[in-house]
Amino acid sequence: MEKTKNYGMFRIHTGNRFVDPNHVKRIKKSILERNLLHVNPIIVNDRMEVLDGQHRLEAAKELEVEIHYIKQIGGLETIHLLNTNARNWSLRDYVLSYISMGSNDYIELLDFSDKWGIPLGLAGALLQFGKAQASSGERDHVRSGDFKPLKKDEAEEIMVWVSAFNDYTDPVTLHQRNFISAVTELKNSGITLDGLKHKLKIQGKQMYRRATRMDYIRDLETLINYKNRHITRIA
């Protein structure tokens, strides 16, 4: 392990997460109370790119105290692995990381999430699998760099159907995974989008927040079967 005040010798690895000023402030406060940087060195590769500890490096730089470092062979995969058991990266950290590496797939993911106001995990499920129901490996695809927007058209269509409820429910319900999953089932039940909009208009029906996907499905069945001679089941 080595130490230095020559902060300029270090480089930020392309693809590492962006520095969070609030996290730097917390580290600075901790250093001022008790400087333990010597027992928690930053990790760099042979090009002096920071693989782990860029927040600690920034805090040391601002306080003008020595930073301790050790060398480790690795790149972006090492960064992700090191941070798995440290201050965990959020899904957004991973998305921004891959965007900084030039991934158009992750740009599409972020744009889709922002456009419809839905969480990145849900946006990823819709874009990659064409469904809102949670999958055990759903977030892993995003974190690992394997995400592919294979179902862009289907995802866009689902969210257009969801947007039909803009005037009939609150924004929280509108962006809930269970609600979007239920609307996806509705879309596949045979009713048209115009038919749905007509049912909503004539009833002025409000969709209320429910606990489960099946609760939403029952509400949607009540909506579309209003004054119908033949009963339609969604799922």
Residue after which a domain boundary falls, among 84, 111, 141 = 84
Q: E-strand spans in the chain? A: 2-4, 11-12, 42-44, 49-52, 67-71
* Cβ proximity of 196 and 224 under 8 Å: yes
Residues 76 and 136 in one domain: no
Q: How far apart are CA 39 and CA 86, in angstroms?
A: 15
Of residues 104, 96, 30, the one with CA closest to residue 63: 30
Domains: count for the chain: 3
Domain hosting residue 59, numbered range: 2-84
Q: What is the pLDDT along the chain (235 residues), one digit of tens a residue?
A: 789 999 999 987 666 567 788 888 888 987 887 787 886 788 888 888 888 888 889 999 999 999 998 887 665 555 555 555 455 567 887 887 777 667 899 999 999 999 999 999 999 999 999 988 766 666 777 887 889 999 999 999 999 999 999 999 998 899 999 999 999 999 988 889 999 999 999 888 788 999 999 999 999 999 988 877 777 777 6
Amino acid occupying residue 49: E
Residues 143 and 122 in one domain: yes
Q: How far apart are CA 81 and CA 203, in angstroms?
A: 53
| pTM, rounded to two decimals | 0.64
Q: How far from 104 is each of 15, 56, 75, 87, 131, CA to CA, in Å? A: 14, 31, 20, 27, 21
Could you tell me if residue 114 is inside a domain?
A: yes
